Structure formats: structure tokens, C-alpha cells
Amino acid sequence: QTSVITASDILAQKGKAPIVSLTAYTTPMAQMMDQHCDFVLVGDSVGMVLHGLSSTLGVTMEMMILHGAAVARGLSRAMLVIDMPFGSYEESPDQAFRNAARLMRETNAAAVKLEGGVEMAATIRFLVARGIPVMAHVGLTPQSINTLGGYKVQGRDAAGAAVLAGAQAVAEAGAFAVVLEKVPQSLADEITAAVAIPTIGIGASAGCDGQVLVVDDMLGLFTAFKPKFVKRYGTLGVDAEAAIAAYAAEVRARAFPAAEHVFADQTTPAKG
Ligand code: KIV
Ligand code: NA
């Protein structure tokens, strides 16, 4: 199925209405988001959120395809964007095209997202010219955690110029939107004013053209740690553990299953 909202719609939303997005990794979550989000991102955060990895570096094409296809089955309106995992696009534009095409073919995603600024501009231009809408991602780029030296705020003071230059480079290369992750509010506002494409903030600014959060973070389902930029709109993790504890106690007390959960010998009245 093809979703109603396209990359051109997202691009055209800049300066009009804020763009709403969340990550999703499963069909039921995608179904819940379809009417509320403009685009749904199958983020490589799936590795940390659902697979227990300590960074996104171990995420594979196969993991992205499995979760991407599941999310696609839950969407009919919202646009599906899928992350290119670490090592699947950095080598060359050819490598990036091969893997982006595979992600789109095997998941039905309408666009890919990749991390990087100036250094990825040529690759973005190559993909867009060949039919692949690209969302860029600058500021804190988690796939570069080993060279960044930690999940810290990017682009403070003099370092801001490089993040701005990266956002301008990906916009000029034809990206239809750019994620700004964990940058100072003033820099996010400056970039939003400077580029012609929508900025999607996460730990950035309410002035960005849109926002994204990891769904398990905002639902309170992922609680291993909570970045400052996460707002918890629910406490599903606490609720789930309480439910599990209640079930365990009832099984041990032989209180579950109760009469209404078990089957009688006969489902129809005996004849004669
Ligand atoms: O992987 C992810 O979830 C992301 C968003 C947080 C932007 O890249
Ligand atoms: Na990501």
C-alpha cells in the first residue's frame, strides 16, 4: 500500500503546520500512530529499545527490514521513513543506493534516513536523483558515538557553524527534511531559519518545523535511561510490570484462571 502523505507533502509543510512524528518498530504501534503522525520512523534505535544493544552500531539491514515491513503493515496514511543502519551507506553512493533500494523494496518505506552532513551530501544527491527521498540527520548522530566520544550536546558555541554547514549541505543536496538531534535551541532556530527544508527536532527546539521522539521513551516503556529531551506522556513500563507481578501472584495463589477463563465439558445442552 502507498501512504497518503509523501515526501513532497512533508517538505511543503515547512512554515505551515508543525510536522508530527514518532518512531515505531511494530504493526500495532504503527496502527496507533497512523492517524496522528505525519511520518513514522523505523529508527535504528530499535537495536537499543527492543534488542538490548548498547548502541545502534550493531543494527543490521535484516533487523531494519523485519521491523520496517511490520510497521508498513500498520500504516495507510502516515509516511514511512526507515533508517539506514551503520555501515550500509557510508562507503560510497553506489553502496548507499543498493541498500536504500533494498530497504524500500523489502519494507515498502517511502524514504530513507541517514546520518551525516557535508560528508554525506554527494550520497544524498545521488540517491535523490535516482528516486529515493532522503531525510538527513545532523547534530548528535548516534552511529558516530565512537568518534563523538559520548551522547553529548553537539554544536555549542563555535562548533555550531559546522552543524549549520552540514544542514545547509544536505538541504542543497536535495534532502526533503533534516533531523536535528541534541543541539542548542538557538542553533536549531538558526538552522530552521536558514534552510529551505523542514527541520525535525529531537532535543532541539520547539521552533523546529517538526518533532520526533522514540515512542518507547515517550510512553515510559523504555526506562533504562531517560535523556533530558524526552518527555514521558505515559507510564506503560510501570503499568506493565505491575500487571506482570499481579499475574505471577494470582498464578501462585491459584486465583488465575478463574471460572470465566476455563471451559466446561459441554458447550451445548445435552439432547434428550
Ligand atoms: O533511530 C531513531 O530513533 C532516530 C530518531 C530518534 C531521530 O534516529
Ligand atoms: Na536513528
- Across the strands, what pairs with 186? none
Q: Is residue 118 part of a domain?
A: yes
CA of 23, closest atom in ligand 1: 3
Which residues, 6 or more positions from 45, have their beta carbon under 8 angstroms from its beta carbon? 23, 56, 83, 142, 214
Nearest CA to ligand 1 atom 5: 43
* For the CA of 48, the nearest ligand: 1
Assess whether 181 carries a catalytic annotation. yes
Tell me the pTM: 0.96
Please list all protein residues whose beta carbon sits less than 5 angstroms from ligand 2, which is an ion.
43-44, 83
Q: What is the pLDDT of residue 3?
A: 84
Q: List the domain range (segments joined by +) for residue 26.
A: 7-234
Pick the catalytic residue from 90, 91, 106, 181.
181
Nearest CA to ligand 1 atom 2: 43
What are the distances in angstroms from CA 228 to CA 151, 176, 179, 182?
Answer: 11, 27, 17, 10
Q: What is the pLDDT of residue 46?
A: 98
Q: Is residue 139 part of a domain?
A: yes
Q: Domain containing 169 — which CATH number?
A: 3.20.20.60
pLDDT tens by residue, the chain, 272 residues: 568 999 999 999 999 999 999 999 999 999 999 999 999 999 999 999 999 999 999 999 999 999 999 999 999 999 999 999 999 999 999 999 999 999 999 999 999 999 999 999 999 999 999 999 999 999 999 999 999 999 999 999 999 999 999 999 999 999 999 999 999 999 999 999 999 999 999 999 999 999 999 999 999 999 888 999 999 999 999 999 999 999 999 999 999 999 999 999 986 666 65
Q: Is residue 263 part of a domain?
A: no
Q: What is the pLDDT of residue 271?
A: 63
pLDDT digits (tens, 9 = 90+) for 48-79: 999 999 999 999 999 999 999 999 999 999 99
Q: Is residue 247 part of a domain?
A: no
- Which of 23, 46, 213 maximizes ligand 1 atoms within 8 Å of its Cβ, making it the mutation to test the pocket? 23
Q: Is residue 111 part of a domain?
A: yes
Q: What residue numbers does the annotated binding site for Mg(2+) cover? A: 44, 83, 115
Q: Is residue 265 part of a domain?
A: no
Which residues, 6 or more positions from 166, have their beta carbon under 8 angstroms from its beta carbon? 116, 117, 118, 138
Q: Is residue 260 part of a domain?
A: no
- Which of 113, 143, 218, 222 maximizes ligand 1 atoms within 8 Å of its Cβ, making it the mutation to test the pocket? 113
Q: Is residue 258 part of a domain?
A: no
In the chain, the number of structural domains is: 1
Nearest CA to ligand 1 atom 8: 43
> Cα(243)–Cα(264) distance, rounded to whole angstroms?
27
Q: Give the helix/strand (H/E) hosting 212.
A: strand 210-213
